[in-house]
Amino acid sequence: MDEKLSLQKWIGLAQQKNISFGDFCVELQAKELEIGEDDLLQRMEAMLKVMEQSIASGLSGTKSMGGLVGGNGKLMDNYRREHTRESIVGSIMSKAIMIALAVGEANASMGRIVAAPTAGASGTLPAVLFSLSEARGIDMPVLAKALTVSGTIGMVIASRATLSGAAGGCQAECGSAGAMAAGAAVELYGGSPKQVGHAVAMTLKNMLGLVCDPVAGLVEVPCVKRNAGAVAVAMTAAEMALAGIESVIPVDEVIDAMAAVGSAMSCTLKETAQGGLAVSPTGLSWANKIFARS
Amino acid sequence: MNIFDVIGPVMIGPSSSHTAGAVRLGNLALAILGEPIKKAVIGLHGSFAQTYRGHGTDLALVGGLQGWATDDARIPKAFEEAKQAGITISFEIINLGDLAHPNSVKFWLTGVDGKVCNVTGISIGGGRVCVTNIDDFPVEFNGEFPAILTMHNDRPGTIALVTGILSGQGVNVAQMKVFRKQKGGLAAMIVETDQPVDDAQFYAIGKLPHIESVRRIQLG
């Protein structure tokens, strides 16, 4: 992959062909993998099924390996069922928060998940996809196409920047997951290819600079809750894009800025557990307790 | 990279480097030994030594040594399964030095038919791994292709004889690397191929002059 991928280029091509970005991505990726479009969508549906199972497993009362997370997805689920009229963020986002926490907790407790784009950021995409699919009665084949949009966005970010917290901080993991989810959300709501690009750009702009500072080096605190935070940013960006709001900075340039910010970030803030929340007094005390057990 | 590197892999959490990568390192060590494992001593270095419990790295390594995939739901129960299969496992905290990768593991393995070997590997991120040492011989390969590993005497023509046998059966060499400790001494060669190497080729290579041992490394 010598030449960097460009989301702007692909958005332009989809516009020229006058097709949705989802249709464009399915055509592009099927060709790239040398498989039929139906095969591609079937493989995406298989990923969606694993995501669905991981939601259920996270809600079934998990306890993480390090013992720092577990049960919050369930708390969120109980709350939203009991307070259907009073939700601050509304029922769709409330459900999305629940899913993000549940999948994050499933991951932290050795559940089976889809790393999309990574294990630590695996809650955000299922959260956005399944909360919207429930709200709009969207079926699996349509969801599979939206997931193809997400994957295509992720490939561009991997090409121009990185998807790894160790290389680029949490902006590269939860930030990218949010951007991939925002693009999928716009696609599911009938937005144009250009609007997909703006949603991606606006999500990343709001996640820029987010550090990776896991307590005790584990994928638990703050990772699980950051998946929920990324959901909120992604949905906000998608809503703005669908309203016709545009990112002043073009999407490829935002991704490039993320790469530059990631490079400038201190190593203490890139998954090494040597900065941020990891070295807060409480973070350190948890780390000591966990290492004493090992 | 393709789209399923981004939407995937399906894996047992929580960490691609400390869990999924650990499974793959176990898979590779098993393939290098070349028979089911009876006894494994597993040395953990650096970040692996510090955080293995919280990441389930120990369970993932033991699952990998039993030949399981990174998404095998039995991984959280890998110790019980190993015990039932009669495999003895023990862990040690080791120090491979300041230059070693923080996610390093060294296996000392004994197989059911008495084969022994030691394997060192590193998990380099995103579930990708690299074997860096076999039987105290520095090597470098990742198991993405079927491979042949020879220990041989560093003599002219030995490499050509090996590749000759492979090409004779239409096996294409994808990549190959040769390592030696000193000129004319014991050397190692990793030949990664596009096609699997069949039994006849494998035995023929073992019978070549100057070949001390040959291993066939193929992941499921």
User: Chain A residue closest to B73 (CA)?
Assistant: A112
Q: pLDDT at position A170, please?
A: 97
Q: How far is A253 from A258, CA to CA, in rounded Å?
A: 9
**CATH numbers and ranges of domains, chain B:** 7-135 (3.30.1330.90), 147-217 (3.30.70.260)
Looking at the complex, report in whole angstroms how far the Cα of residue B220 sits from the nearest Cα belonging to chain A.
Answer: 20
Under an 8 A CB cutoff, do A217 and B73 touch?
Answer: no
User: Distance of CA A146 to CAs A25, A70, A138, A201, B34, Å?
Assistant: 9, 29, 11, 17, 43
Residue B50 forms contact with A (CB below 8 Å): yes
Instruction: Give A-chain residues touching B6 at CB under 8 angstroms.
Output: 116-117, 150-151, 154-155, 158, 163, 180
Looking at the complex, report in whole angstroms how far the Cα of residue B130 sits from the nearest Cα belonging to chain A.
Answer: 18
Q: What is the dihedral of CA B171, B174, B178, B179, to 10 degrees?
A: -120
Burial class from Cβ neighbours inside 10 Å (0-12, 13-18, 19+) for residue B76 reads: middle
User: Distance of CA A191 to CAs A37, A70, B164, Å?
Assistant: 22, 36, 58
Q: pLDDT at position B181, please?
A: 82
pLDDT tier at B220 (50, 70, 90 boundaries)? low
B32-62 per-position pLDDT tens digit: 999 999 999 999 999 899 888 889 999 999 9
Residue B183 forms contact with A (CB below 8 Å): no
Strand order in the sheet with B186-193: B173-180, B186-193, B147-153, B211-217
Residue B56: which of A32, A110, A113 has the nearest Cβ? A110
Closest by Cα among A128, A138, A153 to A258: A153
Under an 8 A CB cutoff, do A218 and B13 touch?
Answer: no
Residue B85 forms contact with A (CB below 8 Å): no
B154-207 per-position pLDDT tens digit: 999 999 999 999 999 899 999 999 988 889 899 999 999 999 999 999 999 999
**Residue to test with chain A: of B3, B91, B128, most A Cβ within 10 A:** B3
Cβ-based neighbour number of residue B124 at 10 Å:
15
Please give the structure tokens belonging to residue B163.
């590749």
Listed as ranges, residues in chain A with pLDDT below 50 are: 1
**CATH numbers and ranges of domains, chain A:** 7-293 (1.10.4100)
Under an 8 A CB cutoff, do A50 and B50 touch?
Answer: no
Residue B125 forms contact with A (CB below 8 Å): yes
Q: pLDDT at position A294, please?
A: 58
Residue B80 forms contact with A (CB below 8 Å): no
Instruction: Give B-chain residues touching A167 at CB under 8 angstroms.
Output: 125
Residue B11 forms contact with A (CB below 8 Å): yes
B70-115 per-position pLDDT tens digit: 999 999 999 999 999 999 999 999 999 988 998 999 999 999 999 9
Residue A38 forms contact with B (CB below 8 Å): no
Q: pLDDT at position A2, please?
A: 63
Instruction: Give A-chain residues touching B55 at CB under 8 angstroms.
Output: 65, 218-219
Q: pLDDT at position B10, please?
A: 95
Under an 8 A CB cutoff, do B7 and A44 touch?
Answer: yes
Three-state secondary structure of A155-216: HHHHHHCCCCHHHHCHHHHHHHHHHHHHHHHHHHCCCCHHHHHHHHHHHHHHHCCCCECCHH
Touching B: A residues 241-270, CB under 8 Å: none
Instruction: Give A-chain residues touching B2 at CB under 8 angstroms.
Output: 29, 32-33, 155
Residue A158: which of B6, B9, B10 has the nearest Cβ? B6
Please give the angle made by the CA atoms of A27, A32 and A38, to the nearest 5 degrees.
45
Instruction: Give A-chain residues touching B15 at CB under 8 angstroms.
Output: 119-120, 219
Looking at the complex, report in whole angstroms how far the Cα of residue B169 sits from the nearest Cα belonging to chain A.
Answer: 27
Residue B15 forms contact with A (CB below 8 Å): yes
Q: pLDDT at position B144, please?
A: 87
DSSP codes of every residue in chain B: --HHHHS--EEESS-IIIIIHHHHHHHHHHHHHTS-EEEEEEEEEEHHHHHHHHHTHHHHHHHHHTT--TT-TTGGGHHHHHHHTT-EEEEEE----TTS-SEEEEEEEEETTS-EEEEEEEEEETTEEEEEEETTEEEEE-SSS-EEEEEEE--TTHHHHHHHHHHHTTPPEEEEEEEESSTTSEEEEEEEESSPPPHHHHHHHHTSTTEEEEEEE---
DSSP codes of every residue in B64-106: HHTT--TT-TTGGGHHHHHHHTT-EEEEEE----TTS-SEEEE
Residue A116: which of B7, B12, B19 has the nearest Cβ? B7
Query: Are residues B104 and B122 in contact, defined by beta-carbon separation less than 8 angstroms?
Result: yes
Instruction: Give A-chain residues touching B57 at CB under 8 angstroms.
Output: none
Please give the structure tokens belonging to residue A262.
């990631």
Cβ-based neighbour number of residue A229 at 10 Å:
19
